């Protein structure tokens, strides 16, 4: 039995959740599943429609972004996944989608304000938007890869990747992560729902006030336990 069988199956099952949850169209987006002991992850092959995927079509890649096993070309976002796995040791799954509302927010370069308890249930901060691709990144300088855009944005805001498991990438789309691929997929669905609600709130009431921090703190600690609040 291939030593990669488990992560191939995990990655396949998680990828198939994206169209089921309405988070992707056609070949957009991708999910990966990591095996920390082997130092590799399985990721969706590039440009393959979800209905044609199978566990054996998942591509095995190391944390430098080098293909270890697989005939198909790995996702065009493979390097982003590799950078995050290499630097964030507790992440076991990463998801990238082009879900409509989260992507619309990413295209405006705005963070998603915390307007209510639905948002506060999952994260107490405004969901950050990493700056768009820099000139250096467009020229292909590794250290400016999207994964570093994401890491640097969280670090600048003082957010831990274990507490904030979702981000928008400016002029691009959302990325989410978690200890497992299933948690990363859950975070992508939550992010899309929060983005949709925030958009509607701003349509109903332009310049809508954010939820008071004291209320966010009270709500979050009631749900997640005392001293769990990590607001901005």
Establish if 138 lies at the interface with ligand 5SP (CB under 6 A). Answer: no
Q: Which of 144, 199, 229, 230 is catalytic?
A: 230
Of positions 22, 36, 54, 76, contacts ligand 5SP by CB under 6 A = 76
Question: 92 burial class (0-12, 13-18, 19+ CB within 10 angstroms)?
Answer: buried
Number of residues that bind ligand 5SP (CB under 6 A): 13
Residues 13-42 interacting with ligand 5SP (rule: CB under 6 A): 27-30
Bridge partners of 127? Answer: 112
Of positions 44, 57, 119, 122, contacts ligand 5SP by CB under 6 A = 44
Select from 31-39, 73-81, 144-152, 199-207 the region that touches ligand 5SP (CB under 6 A): 73-81
Q: Is 230 helix (H, G, I), strand (E, B) or coil?
A: coil
Establish if 47 lies at the interface with ligand 5SP (CB under 6 A). Answer: yes
Residues 144-203 interacting with ligand 5SP (rule: CB under 6 A): 173
Residues 6+ apart with CB under 8 A from 57: 12, 45, 48, 70, 72
DSSP 14-77: HHHHHHHTT---TT--EEEEEETTTTEEEEPBTT--GGG--GGGSEEEETTS-EEE-SSPB-TT
- How many CA atoms does the CB half-sphere of 209 hold within 13 Å? 3
Residues 78-107 interacting with ligand 5SP (rule: CB under 6 A): 96, 98
**How far is residue 93's CA from residue 6's CA, in Å, rounded to a whole number?**
13
Select from 34-42, 72-80, 113-121, 214-222 the region that touches ligand 5SP (CB under 6 A): 72-80
Q: Is residue 230 among the annotated active site residues?
A: yes
Q: Give the nearest distance from C-beta 193 to ligand 5SP in angstroms.
A: 20
Contact call for residues 146 and 80 (beta carbons, < 8 A): yes
Distances (CA, A) of 120 to 4, 12, 49, 164, 201: 37, 30, 34, 11, 15
What one-character DSSP code corresponds to residue 145? S
Q: Give the nearest distance from C-beta 228 to ligand 5SP in angstroms.
A: 33
Nearer to ligand 5SP, 116 or 174 (CB): 174
Q: Which of 35, 62, 121, 213 is catalytic?
A: 121
Establish if 77 lies at the interface with ligand 5SP (CB under 6 A). Answer: yes
Contact call for residues 61 and 41 (beta carbons, < 8 A): yes
Q: Is residue 161 among the annotated active site residues?
A: no
Q: Indicate which residues carry an active-site annotation.
A: 121, 230
Q: Binding residues for ligand 5SP, per CB under 6 A?
A: 27-30, 44, 46-47, 75-77, 96, 98, 173
């Amino acid at each position: 039995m291939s030593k990669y069988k488990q992560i191939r199956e995990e990655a396949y099952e998680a990828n198939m959740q994206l169209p089921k949850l309405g988070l992707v169209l056609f070949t957009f987006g991708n999910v990966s599943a990591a095996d920390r002991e082997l130092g590799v992850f399985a990721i969706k092959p590039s440009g393959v429609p979800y209905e044609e995927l199978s566990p054996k079509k998942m591509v095995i890649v190391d944390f430098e972004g080098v293909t270890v096993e697989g005939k198909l070309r790995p996702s065009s976002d493979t390097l982003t996944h590799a950078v995050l796995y290499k630097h964030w040791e507790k992440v076991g799954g990463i998801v990238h989608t082009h879900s409509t509302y989260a992507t619309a927010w990413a295209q405006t370069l705005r963070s998603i304000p915390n307007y209510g308890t639905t948002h506060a249930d999952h994260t107490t901060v405004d969901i950050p938007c990493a700056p768009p691709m820099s000139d250096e990144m467009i020229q292909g300088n590794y250290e400016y890869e999207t994964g570093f855009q994401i890491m640097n944005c969280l670090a600048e805001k003082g957010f831990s990747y274990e507490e904030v498991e979702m981000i928008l990438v400016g002029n691009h789309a959302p990325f989410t992560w978690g200890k497992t691929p299933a948690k990363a997929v859950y975070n992508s669905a939550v992010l899309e729902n929060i983005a949709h609600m925030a958009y509607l709130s701003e349509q109903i009431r332009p310049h809508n006030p954010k939820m008071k921090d004291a209320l966010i703190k009270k709500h979050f600690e009631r749900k997640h336990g005392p001293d769990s609040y990590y607001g901005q």
